[in-house]
Amino acid sequence: MTRTSHRESRVVAIAAELLFGLVADVERYPEFIPLMREARIIQRHDRGYETEQVLALGLLQRRFRTRTELDPPRVITVTSADRIFRRFDIRWVFTPTLEGPCRIDFALDCEVRSIWLKPISDVLVGPMALTMVNAFVQRARKIASAPPPDSLTG
């Protein structure tokens, strides 16, 4: 089996609520997450939703399903029972701090079932994990610095 793990913690000058909202808005991921080609909610439930996502690098792509549990505004947990994974867990924790508005703790653990799927995991999941936190922080900064929309229309 092949396993990909990534852990990251950082303090950023962005409100926890904004970051939580960006991570929870899975259907917008293809707009700013490298390698993410599709993400759509297929079912909602009381504390979250289930999605179908597509990761792609050139012609190599993989479609899979995830289940997201939301505990606003602090914790988002993403798991998958998709048959390609032995284990797929992502956990985001957003904590207000004295050093800055938010401490982000990100953890990804992914293990594919088949040795034949190792190239997909190495090429898609590993690099995506390395860029996830950066992508959300950059997106939050862009949104936070955008001028407010005009409230008056001609």
Position 151 in a domain: no
Position 154 in a domain: no
Rg (CA), the chain: 16
Residue range of the domain that includes 118: 2-142
CATH number of the domain at 66, please.
3.30.530.20
Position 27 in a domain: yes
pLDDT digit string (tens) for 109-128? 988 776 666 656 666 666 67
Placement of tokens 């001609």 in the chain: 154
Q: What torsion, rounded to 10 degrees, do the Cα atoms 90, 73, 65, 51 define?
A: -160
Residue 82 has pLDDT above 60, yes or no: yes
Asked if 97 and 11 count as a contact pair (C-beta separation under 8 A), the reply is yes
Percent of the chain past pLDDT 70, that is, above it, reads 85
Asked if 92 and 12 count as a contact pair (C-beta separation under 8 A), the reply is no
| Sign of the alpha-carbon torsion through 20, 21, 25, 28 | negative
Q: Name which of 28-32, 45-49, 139-143 the model is least confident about.
A: 139-143
Instruction: Note the pLDDT of residue 132.
Output: 84
